[in-house]
Structure 1
Amino acid sequence: MHSGRLKSVVGAAVLVAAAMTTGTAAAPTAVPVAPAVASSPIQVYGAWHCGDDACTWATVRDMTDFDTNNHWLIDRGDGHPSVNLVVLSFVNPLKLLNGTTDSGDVNGAPVGMNAAVVNYFTSHGIRVMLSIGGITYTGDWDTALTQNAALLGQKAAALATQLGVGIEIDYENSSSPNLTGLQSFISAYRAAHPYDASGADPTARLTLDVAAGDRYLIALDQYATANWLTTSNPVLDYANAMVPSKQPSASSAESNWQEHITGKSNYNPAIGPLAPAKFTGGLYIAEGSQVRPECNNFATSVQNATGSWLQSAAPNGAGTTPGMLGYMFWAAEKPSTRGVTTDPPNTCQGGVGVGSTTYGIPLPMPALRQG
Structure 2
Amino acid sequence: MRIRALLSAVLLLALEVFVTARPAAAATATPIQVYGAWHCSNDACTWATARSMSDFDANNHWLIDRGDGRPSVNLVILSFVNPLRLLNQTTDTGDLNGVPRGMTQDVVNYFTSHGIRVMLSIGGITYTDDWDTALATNGTQLGRNAAALAQQLGVGIEIDYEENSSPNLTGLQAFIDAYRAILPYDRTGANPAARLTIDLAAGDRWLIDLDRKATADWLRTDTPVLDYANAMVPSKQPSASAAEANWQEHLVGKSNYSPPIPPLAPAKFTGSFYIAEGSKVLPECTNFPQSLQNSTSGWAQTAAPAGAGTTPGMLGYMFWAAEKPSTRGVTTAPPNTCQGGVGAGATALSVPLPMPALRQS
Q: Shorter-normalised TM-score: what interval?
A: over 0.9
**SS of residue matched to 1:274:** coil
Paired with 1:358 and 1:52, the residues of 2 have a C-alpha distance of: 29
For 1:172, give the aligned amino acid. Answer: E
TM-score by length of 2: 0.94
Q: Distance in 1 between the 2:93 and 2:24 partners? A: 62
1:76-115 to structure 2, matched below 5 A, reads: 76-115=66-105
Task: Report the counterpart of residue 190 of structure 2 in structure 1.
Answer: 200
Q: CA deviation at 1:32?
A: 2.9
Quick one: which of 21, 24, 49 aligns to 1:34?
24
CA distance in structure 1 between the partners assigned to 2:282 and 2:255 by the alignment: 35
**AA paired with 1:89?**
S
Residue of structure 1 equivalent to 2:227? 237
Which residue in 1 is equivalent to 2:9? none
- Aligned pairs for 1:1-371 (under 5 A) are 32-371=22-361
User: Shift of residue 83 of structure 1?
Assistant: 0.0
State how far apart, in whole Å, the 1-side matches of 2:350 and 2:295 are: 16
Provide Cα deviations, 1:64-103, integer angstroms capped at 9, x if missing partner.
0000000000000000000000000000000000000000
The structural deviation recorded for 1:311 is 0.2
Alpha-carbon distance in 1 for matches of 2:200, 2:329: 24
C-alpha separation in 1, matches of 2:169 and 2:329? 34
Distance 1:204 1:232 in 2: 18
Which structure: larger Rg? Answer: 1
Q: How many angstroms does 1:291 deviate by?
A: 1.5
CA distance in 2, matches of 1:109, 1:81: 27
SS where residue 342 of structure 1 aligns? coil
Q: CA deviation at 1:33?
A: 4.7
CA separation in 2, counterparts of 1:345 and 1:150? 44
How far did 1:34 drift?
Answer: 2.7
Q: Structure 1 CA distance, aligned partners of 2:159 and 2:202?
A: 15
Cα distance in 2 for partners of 1:336, 1:362 equals: 30
Instruction: Give the residue type in structure 2 aligned to 1:311.
Output: Q
Q: Distance in 2 between matches of 1:302 and 1:83?
A: 16
Cα displacement (A) at 1:174? 0.1
TM-score, structure 1 normalization: 0.92
Once residues 152 and 329 of structure 1 are traced to their aligned partners in structure 2, the CA distance between those partners, rounded to angstroms, is 27
Deviations 1:231-277 (A, max 9, x none): 00000000000000000000000000000001000001100000000
Task: Name the SS for the 1:129 alignment partner.
Answer: strand
Residue segments in structure 2 that go unaligned for 5+ positions in a row: 1-17
Q: AA paired with 1:164?
A: G
Secondary structure of 2:150 counterpart: helix
Q: Which amino acid aligns with 2:104?
A: N
Q: CA deviation at 1:339?
A: 1.5
Count of residue pairs brought into register by the alignment: 344
Amino acid of the structure 2 residue aligned with 1:128: V
In the aligned structure 1, how far is the partner of 2:84 from the partner of 2:123?
9
Structure-2 separation of matches of 1:332 and 1:163: 20
> How far apart, in 1, do the equivalents of 2:237 and 2:24 lie?
33
The alignment-based identity, stated in percent, is: 75
Letter in 2 for 1:111: R
Give a deviation string over 1:322-344, Cα, whole Å, max 9, x none.
Answer: 00000000000000001210000
Quote the Cα distance in structure 1 between the aligned partners of 2:224 and 2:29. 22
Amino acid at match of 1:360: S
1:8-58 per-position Cα deviation (integer Å, ceiling 9, x unaligned): xxxxxxxxxxxxxxxxxxxxx888353121110000000000000000000
Counterpart Cα distance in 2 of 1:129 and 1:79? 22
Q: Secondary structure at the match of 1:177?
A: coil
Cα deviations by residue, 1:91-116 (Å, 9 ceiling, x for unpaired):
00000000000001000000100100
